[in-house]
Amino acid sequence: MDDIAFDDRKHKRDKRSFLSVSWQQLAAVGLVAVLGVCLGVLIGYFSRGGTALPTDSWEYMLTHEGPAWVSQRLIDDISAANIEENLRLLTQTTRLAGTASDLQGAQYIRDRWLADGLDHVMLTPYDVALSYPTTPNTVTMVAANGTVVFTGRRIEEGFENDPDAVTYYSAYSPPGEAEGDLVFANHGSMEDFQYLVDQGVDLAGKIVIVKYGAVGRGDKAVNAEKFGALGVIVYSDPGDYGNPDGPNYPETWFLSGSGVQRGSLNGDYGDLLTPGYPAKEYAYRTDINNITATGLASIPTQPIGWEDAATLMRHLSGPAAPSDWQGGLGFNYSVGPGFVGPYANRKVHLKVTNQNVLRRTYNVIGTIRGSVEPDRYVLYGNHRDGWVYGAVDPTSGTACMLEIIRVLGALVKSGSWRPKRTIVFGSWGSEEFGLIGSTEWAEEYVKTLTQRAVAYINVDIAVMANDTMRVRGSKLLQTAIFDATKKVPSHERSLVSDAGNRKSRMKRAGLEKSLYETMVENTPNVNGQPAETPRFLEMGRGSDYVVFYHRLGIPSVDLMFVQNREKPGVQPVPIYPAYHTAFDTFDYVKRFIDPEFKAHQAVARVAIETVRVLSDSMILPFDLLSFADKMQAYLTGVQLEHGEVLTAQGVSLEYLESAVTNFTSAAVRLERKIGDVNKLNPLDVRALNDKLLYLERAFIDPLGLPGPPFLWHVAAGFSRFNSSSAAFPSLTDAILDDSIMNPEQRLDAINKRLSVITFIIQSAASILTEAGMES
């Protein structure tokens, strides 16, 4: 009973342990439950949205910067040896646009890019007007009895039997024959011809010989025609491109006597038959037998080598040429007309057989799709065509582009990284004839590019000399480029191995020298003091960036390794001497330009890092303040250069000044906002990026100057009357153009253009400040 009673009691106790526990037990269980809940809350919270967000989820990708290791990895992976091998492979055939190599080259590039991991690669063909000699053009000297006593070369020494190398010619020169007394006209500028006229030299009916330089390739004939000349011969003076006392190529990089700079006379951009629109199958085309463009005269032009130029010029009659017209041919230049001494009564005869033909040219377009903003494009490009083998121009750039794509493609293929924005690569066709491939493509996709392109990076000639890297372009990209050059080791440290470990040890030890430092060292003194930063130059108009930058307002940059012309011991040249000649071969690069391809490597590294930062930074790395400073500098330039003239005509710059001030304030305010933006809100970031993206677009005014050459950037550009000035070109034109308009019309034009520029800058300020619409 006791037992039973006990059992009973025990039983009751046991039951109570579940149903009626003691307060201690209750508290204990409660505590456990509370702790459990707390633990669970933490687990649940962080499993959902905390540091444990999967890095490939959109929530993570939209709100976080890409991985930090990518930058160094991309830079490290760029190999000089690969670039060298690319160049060697690509320069085994000639590269003349519109020939068989146009398509073959494009297919080769396409296959490489596909193999290297681009997401999408396509060819974009355009049918465009190109120009070739039908039979080799000739320059001859004819005796009084009609006998041909001298015939100039048709092609460079050593290339006579190369069936693919094109003979000397100037593209788009009209065909024609001309014969007459020879006159030497220096560079063929209007001033040069006027000087001759002032000296009593009649140019009517003459054949004119001029040096390359000072005036655009096509303008020489345009000017000569105005003075009545019948034909133009142009040559590269050894005083500019050669070593007058030898040795020249192949002993050195200097131009030897048979080297001839080919080139296009066309001064416009894009296909000449379809101005403003893409040269597609549906395109309306103007008459190919009646092409008009800036730089196209109706008299023929033919380029020759300086050996032949010496033959032609040695016995010129007439007064001596002025001292600043003299050159390196080894005798004193006279101006003519006609010959004296042994050559008396001889005439010069010029025969140009060029024909304009419709040919198909190809771009290759390759993309890496952006992970977060596929509809934002970072553009990178270079052309593929060259005049003969084109090793430096353009293949040094293409060799770098291939290596960049290999490195990016490998990383993307590995699955460990993909840029937030889409990267679009362009291998352009027919650049040499007038930036045709890039222009047609941009014309075809003008709507898409205007809305989606972030920036355009151009590396055409990657290395024309290996002293230092030159940067030109939109100031918006200055910081991105300079930051990249700080990360890239200098090409000068040829002892620094590519091997990661050794380099990082050196870096830790402070032994690594950056490309940025090299660029600073190679920058000319500023006010007598060593420069503290590299120069960042105005964009030019000589490569495929023109349509992107000057017509569409896409921030662009052009990278190139160049001579430091002020370096002791350097013999400065206007451009590398083999430019546009048959001598521009792999051998030339390997022996004279960049034997170890370290400069190539450096420019490719800057480019790949710039592509990365533009395509992968959450906020576009655009340099608002430098851009605003530039605008102020443009204004100051106009004030200094033209202020007095303007004041004298009663023109006030007051509104322009206040527009620039408004723009600067807006830029400063937006710059501050960038620091405050909530990176966790993707639409706030996108709205901010859109402001940056569309800023330079606001400087484009398609109403301003209709028709070719479609240079619509009202702030940065080129005056027709002052090649050094780049600020507000339409205004500068109006100020300087006293030849065409009467004073009243000129004043009217000045005021009108000033008003447009003021408006455009105010528009740009609105883009940054929401125009009172987002309050």
Interaction with a copy of itself in 706-765: which residues (CB under 8 A)?
706, 751-752, 754-756, 758-759, 762-764
Q: Which stretch binds a copy of itself (CB under 8 A): 274-282, 394-402, 430-438, 501-509?
A: 274-282
Phi-psi region of 200 (alpha: psi -120 to 50; beta: other; left: phi over 0): left
Q: Which stretch binds a copy of itself (CB under 8 A): 94-102, 279-287, 495-503, 514-522?
A: 279-287
Q: Which of 85, 119, 225, 517 binds a copy of itself (CB under 8 A)?
A: 119
- ω into residue 247 within 30 of 0, thus cis? yes
| Chain-centroid distance, C-alpha 42 | 54
Nearer to a copy of itself, 487 or 686 (CB): 686
Residue type, 346: R
Give the separation between CA 104 and CA 630, rounded to whole angstroms.
43
CB of 74 to a copy of itself, least distance (A): 21
CB of 15 to a copy of itself, least distance (A): 11
CB of 283 to a copy of itself, least distance (A): 5
Q: Extract the tokens encoding 175.
A: 């065909």
Phi, psi of 350 (to 5 degrees): -125, 130
Give the separation between CA 376 and CA 305, rounded to whole angstroms.
48
Give the separation between CA 118 and CA 404, rounded to whole angstroms.
11
Q: Which stretch binds a copy of itself (CB under 8 A): 200-208, 255-263, 270-278, 471-479?
A: 270-278
Q: Is 283 in the site for a copy of itself (CB under 8 A)?
A: yes
Catalytic-residue membership of 498:
no
CB of 754 to a copy of itself, least distance (A): 7
Q: Is 32 in the site for a copy of itself (CB under 8 A)?
A: yes
Residues 617-656 that bind a copy of itself (CB under 8 A): 655-656
Residues 348-367 that bind a copy of itself (CB under 8 A): 365, 367
Could you give the 3-state DSSP secondary structure of residue 355?
Answer: strand
Residues 311-330 that bind a copy of itself (CB under 8 A): none
Q: Is 198 in the site for a copy of itself (CB under 8 A)?
A: no
Nearer to a copy of itself, 116 or 483 (CB): 116
Give the separation between CA 347 and CA 339, rounded to whole angstroms.
8
Q: Which of 60, 277, 417, 721 binds a copy of itself (CB under 8 A)?
A: 277
CB-based contacts of 33, cutoff 8 Å, min separation 6: none
Catalytic-residue membership of 652:
yes
CB of 693 to a copy of itself, least distance (A): 9
Residues 509-568 that bind a copy of itself (CB under 8 A): none
Residues 47-106 that bind a copy of itself (CB under 8 A): 47-50, 58, 62
Nearer to a copy of itself, 72 or 451 (CB): 451
Catalytic-residue membership of 690:
yes
Structural Rg of the chain based on CA atoms: 33
Nearer to a copy of itself, 399 or 692 (CB): 692
Q: Is 28 in the site for a copy of itself (CB under 8 A)?
A: yes
Annotated catalytic residue within 652, 658, 723, 755: 652
CB-based contacts of 325, cutoff 8 Å, min separation 6: 184, 186, 192, 333, 335
Token look-up 């060697």 returns 88
Q: Which of 205, 680, 720, 723 binds a copy of itself (CB under 8 A)?
A: 680
SS3 per-residue string spanning 169-237: CEECCCCEEEEECEEECCCCCHHHHHHHHHCCCCCCCCEEEEECCCCCCCHHHHHHHHCCCCEEEEECC
Could you give the 3-state DSSP secondary structure of residue 756?
Answer: helix
Q: Which of 56, 191, 251, 375 binds a copy of itself (CB under 8 A)?
A: 375
Residue type, 290: N
Nearer to a copy of itself, 208 or 412 (CB): 412
Give the count of beta carbons closer than 10 Å to the beta carbon of residue 291: 17
CB of 632 to a copy of itself, least distance (A): 18
CB 539 within 8 A of CB 428: no
**Burial status of residue 214 (CB atoms within 10 A of its CB: 0-12, 13-18, 19 or more):** middle
Annotated catalytic residue within 308, 713, 730, 733: 713
Q: Which of 278, 300, 318, 397 binds a copy of itself (CB under 8 A)?
A: 278
Q: Which stretch binds a copy of itself (CB under 8 A): 13-21, 106-114, 290-298, 599-607?
A: 13-21
Nearest Cα to Cα of residue 441 among 398, 537, 377, 373: 377
Q: Is 372 in the site for a copy of itself (CB under 8 A)?
A: yes
Give the separation between CA 315 and CA 340, rounded to whole angstroms.
6
Catalytic-residue membership of 431:
yes
Nearest Cα to Cα of residue 733 among 745, 749, 744, 748: 749
Q: Extract the tokens encoding 373.
A: 């903003």
Q: Is 679 in the site for a copy of itself (CB under 8 A)?
A: no
Nearest Cα to Cα of residue 75 among 610, 605, 607, 611: 605
Report in angstroms the alpha-carbon separations of 307 from 249, 302, 487, 504, 657.
13, 15, 47, 53, 54
Annotated catalytic residue within 77, 385, 431, 701: 431
Binding mask 685-704 for a copy of itself (x = CB under 8 A): -xx--xx--x--xx---xx-
Q: Which of 9, 12, 120, 505 binds a copy of itself (CB under 8 A)?
A: 120
Instruction: Report which secondary-structure segment, H or E, holds 334.
Output: none
Residues 453-482 that bind a copy of itself (CB under 8 A): none
Q: Which of 86, 422, 458, 664 binds a copy of itself (CB under 8 A)?
A: 422
Letter string b/e over residues 253-267, b meaning 16 or more CB atoms within 10 A of that residue's CB: bbbbbbbbbbbbbbb
Q: Which of 175, 216, 228, 276 binds a copy of itself (CB under 8 A)?
A: 276
CB of 31 to a copy of itself, least distance (A): 10
Nearer to a copy of itself, 152 or 709 (CB): 709
Q: Extract the tokens encoding 481.
A: 């480029």
Q: Which of 20, 44, 100, 246 binds a copy of itself (CB under 8 A)?
A: 44
CB 603 within 8 A of CB 560: yes
Residues 377-396 that bind a copy of itself (CB under 8 A): 377
Q: Which of 73, 88, 280, 591 binds a copy of itself (CB under 8 A)?
A: 280
Binding mask 437-456 for a copy of itself (x = CB under 8 A): -------xxxxx--xx----
Binding mask 209-248 for a copy of itself (x = CB under 8 A): ----------------------------------------
* # of chain residues touching a copy of itself (CB under 8 A): 95
Residues 583-612 that bind a copy of itself (CB under 8 A): none
**Burial status of residue 173 (CB atoms within 10 A of its CB: 0-12, 13-18, 19 or more):** buried
Active site residues: 431, 652, 690, 713
